[in-house]
Amino acid sequence: AWGAALAAATGPGATSDGHRVPLLANIGGPRDVAAALEHGAEGVGLYRTEFLFLDRASAPSMEEQEAAYREVLNAFPGGRVVVRTLDAGADKPLAFLPPGGDEPNPALGERGLRLFRTHPEIMDTQLTALARAASGAPSRVEVMAPMVAGVEEAAWFAAACGAAGLPSAGVMVEIPSAALRASDLAATVDFLSLGTNDLAQYAFAADRQVGALAALHDPWQPALLDLVALAAEGAGEHGKPCGVCGEAAADPALACVLVGLGVTSLSMSPPALPAVRAALSRHSREECVLAARAARGTASAAEARAAARSRLPGLA
């Protein structure tokens, strides 16, 4: 019984009927690895590499990047480590690389993958550093691009990853156009990962840095659940994984709903992992599907939350 209790507290993520949902950690670098391991992360679902690039006068060298990536990859033997390429701009400004033009709306500006179109040398250095760190690593490295708007960008990124010798390339779904065309994206790359923080920002035209608009960033909004469902369905058409790495995954009830919508893995800040693991272990996949259906059947975030919770009896 102790073994079962311990597995439920720290073991791999799964619903009560054994449907596996890997539970992964969002980290900002090697210093977050200890917390991820302590909370039983099965790997990393979002390594935000921009912390290597922020607050400095020049880009980190290939060697510096390789060392940081290797340290994280070595910490998860047998697991996956999903590394996001530099996501600069808007809420993550770079001191050494300000936007080229005047940007009245930085959230809609030259950010994320877009920055690599004008500065491909930064991307090439990062991808090469990742490929070098991955060679001989005990974990599987998967690389993904942020702020991808469509298939042409996804194909360009996947080709660059292939040229660098990386085994797996994915894209984040955080712009509504990407969710609407998730099937095309999934045909082009190896996996999708939903960034629900930005997806809410762009779906509701509500700057995530404006606190007065917090209600519009509520991930329980049925319109956001619809976009998540579209992305998961599109990925499923091609048999490709579709995870969530936005804050939505850290809410135990919403995590069950996301699984019910077809999401295949959940990544969150490490302290959120135990409660999400417990919530999943107390509900069957079918209960998750019914909770998701009930939530999407409502017309507001508050109603969606209530409808889902009433169908998830095992929530604490």
Residue 114 marked in a binding site: no
Least separation in angstroms between residue 251's CB and ligand PEP is 13
Residue choice 66, 153, 174, 190 for contact with ligand PEP (CB under 6 A) = 174
Residue 42 interacts, among Mg ion, ligand PEP, none and using kind-specific CB cut-offs from 5 to 8 Å, with none
- Tell me the residue nearest to Mg ion as measured from the CB: 198
159-170 in b/e form (b: 16+ CB < 10 A) is: ebbeebebebbb
* Tokens, residue 56: 């400095």
Contact between 195 and ligand PEP (CB under 6 A)? Answer: yes
Catalytic residue among 161, 242, 245, 256: 245
Q: Which is nearer to ligand PEP, 46 or 235 (CB)?
A: 46
Least separation in angstroms between residue 226's CB and Mg ion is 19
Contact between 243 and Mg ion (CB under 5 A)? Answer: no
Q: CA 179 to CA 202: how far, in whole Å?
A: 11
Residue 190 marked in a binding site: no
Residue 84 marked in a binding site: yes
From residue 139, alpha-carbon distances to 21, 128, 216, 299 in Å are 18, 17, 38, 43
Q: CA 142 to CA 36: how far, in whole Å?
A: 18
Residue choice 32, 50, 190, 198 for contact with Mg ion (CB under 5 A) = 198
Residues present in the chain in total: 316
> In the stretch 244-273, what mask flags binding to ligand PEP with x, by CB under 6 A?
-xx---------------------------
Q: What is the DSSP string of 98-136?
A: --SS--S-GGGSS-THHHHHH-HHHHHHHHHHHHHHHTT
Establish whether 245 is a catalytic residue. Answer: yes
Contact between 24 and ligand PEP (CB under 6 A)? Answer: no
Taking the alpha carbons of 204, 209, 210, 212 in that order, is the dihedral positive or negative?
Answer: positive
* Tokens, residue 231: 């992305």
Q: Which is nearer to ligand PEP, 196 or 221 (CB)?
A: 196
Q: Which range, of 74-82, 191-199, 222-230, 293-301, touches ligand PEP by CB under 6 A?
A: 191-199
Residue choice 45, 89, 99, 195 for contact with Mg ion (CB under 5 A) = 195
Residue 74 marked in a binding site: no
From residue 27, alpha-carbon distances to 87, 106, 240 in Å are 14, 24, 23
Applying CB under 6 A, the site for ligand PEP has a residue count of 10
Q: Which range, of 14-22, 73-81, 101-109, 193-201, touches ligand PEP by CB under 6 A?
A: 193-201
**Greatest alpha-carbon span in the chain:** 62
Q: CA 277 to CA 300: how far, in whole Å?
A: 26
Contact (Cβ atoms closer than 8 angstroms) between residue 33 and residue 75: yes
Q: CA 35 to CA 80: how far, in whole Å?
A: 16
Residue 177 interacts, among Mg ion, ligand PEP, none and using kind-specific CB cut-offs from 5 to 8 Å, with none
**Residues at the contact surface with Mg ion, assessed by CB under 5 A:** 174, 195, 198
Residues annotated as part of the active site = 245
**Residues at the contact surface with ligand PEP, assessed by CB under 6 A:** 46, 48, 87, 174, 195-198, 245-246
Q: Would you list which residues are annotated within the binding site for Mg(2+)?
A: 174, 198
